C-alpha cells in the first residue's frame, strides 16, 4: 500500500490546514479532492477512494476545510470554503509534475470546487463529483446547480440511484442542459455515501472499484491534457 505524504496548505485569513498526497509510482493525473460536510479527509470513503484511484494511476490530494481542521461541526460559509479549494488546487499544481489536474470532491467538497471554477478558478482540467448534493434530503430542487452553467470544463457526476440528496429525475435534466461537457455515471443501488444494501449482491469495495474505473475511463476519453 502506498503511504500518503502529509502536507499543509495556507488558507488566506483562515490559517493552515492539513492535506494528504497519495501518489502512485506512475501518475497519469492528480485529483484535488475535498471532503463532505460531515466527515474529514481521513473518512473511510476518502481513504478508500484515494487508494482505488491510485491503483489506476490517479494521485489524490485530500485536504481539510478550516472548520473540520479546528474540530467544529458547522461548515464555514461558502467564501471560506471556496478559498480553501483555491489554496488546495494551487498546492496540487505544485505537486502535479506536469500531469493534468482534476478537482472535485465528495458532496459539499465537489460543489464548493465547482463554485470556485464558476468564480474564475482556471487550473483544473476537469471536475469530478462523488455525489453532487443537488438539494437537501426531502427538499427537492435544483438551485444548488445553477452555477454549473458557468463551468466550462469537462465534468463527471458519480451518483447513486438511492441518493436522497440528488433526485435523478431532477439531476438528469440539469446535466442534459450542460451539454457534452457533462457525463453522468449512476452506481446502481448506492446511496449518497455509495453504500449498498446487502440484498444488492454487491460490496462497498466493488462500488468503489466501479467509481474509480469510471473516473479513469472518463479522464482518458475526455483527453484532459488538452484542457485548460
For the segment 194-206, the average pLDDT, to the nearest whole number, is 92
Q: Mean pLDDT over residues 123-138, rounded?
A: 96
pLDDT of residue 9: 94
Instruction: Give the β-pairing of 29-34 and 101-106.
Output: parallel
Structural domains of the chain ordered from first start: 5-222 (3.40.50.1820)
Q: Helix 78-95 and helix 108-118: axis angle, to 10°?
A: 80
The Cα–Cα gap between 62 and 50 comes to 8
Residue 225 predicted with pLDDT over 80: no
204-221 helix and 44-54 helix, angle to the nearest 10 degrees: 50
Interacting residues of 77 by C-beta distance below 8 A, sequence separation 6+? none
Dihedral angle at the C-alpha atoms of 24, 26, 27, 33, nearest 10 degrees? Answer: -20
Distance CA 82, CA 96 (A): 21
pLDDT tens digits for range 9-53? 999 877 899 999 999 999 999 999 999 999 999 999 999 999 999
Q: Which range among 2-16, 62-76, 80-94 shows the weakest confidence by mean pLDDT?
A: 2-16
Amino acid at each position: 500500500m502506498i503511504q500518503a505524504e502529509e502536507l499543509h496548505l495556507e488558507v488566506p485569513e483562515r490559517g493552515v490546514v492539513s492535506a494528504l498526497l497519495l501518489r502512485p509510482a506512475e501518475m497519469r493525473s492528480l485529483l484535488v479532492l475535498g471532503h463532505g460536510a460531515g466527515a474529514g479527509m481521513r473518512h473511510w470513503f476518502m481513504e478508500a477512494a484515494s487508494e482505488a484511484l491510485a491503483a489506476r494511476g490517479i494521485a489524490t490530494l485530500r485536504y481539510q476545510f478550516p472548520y473540520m481542521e479546528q474540530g467544529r461541526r458547522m461548515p464555514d460559509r461558502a467564501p471560506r470554503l471556496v478559498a480553501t479549494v483555491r489554496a488546495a488546487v494551487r498546492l496540487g499544481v505544485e505537486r502535479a509534475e506536469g500531469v493534468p489536474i482534476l478537482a472535485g470532491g465528495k458532496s459539499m467538497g465537489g460543489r464548493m470546487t465547482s463554485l470556485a471554477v464558476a468564480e474564475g478558478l482556471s487550473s483544473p482540467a476537469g471536475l469530478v463529483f462523488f455525489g453532487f448534493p443537488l438539494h437537501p434530503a426531502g427538499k427537492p430542487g435544483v438551485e444548488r446547480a445553477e452555477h454549473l452553467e458557468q463551468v466550462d470544463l469537462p465534468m463527471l457526476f458519480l451518483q447513486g440511484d438511492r441518493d436522497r440528496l440528488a433526485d435523478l429525475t431532477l439531476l438528469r435534466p440539469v446535466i442534459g442542459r450542460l451539454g457534452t461537457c457533462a457525463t453522468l455515471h449512476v452506481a446502481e443501488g448506492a446511496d449518497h455515501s455509495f453504500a449498498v444494501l446487502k440484498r444488492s449482491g454487491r460490496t462497498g469495495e466493488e462500488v468503489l472499484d466501479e467509481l474509480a474505473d469510471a473516473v479513469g475511463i472518463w479522464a482518458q476519453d475526455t483527453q484532459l491534457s488538452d484542457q485548460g
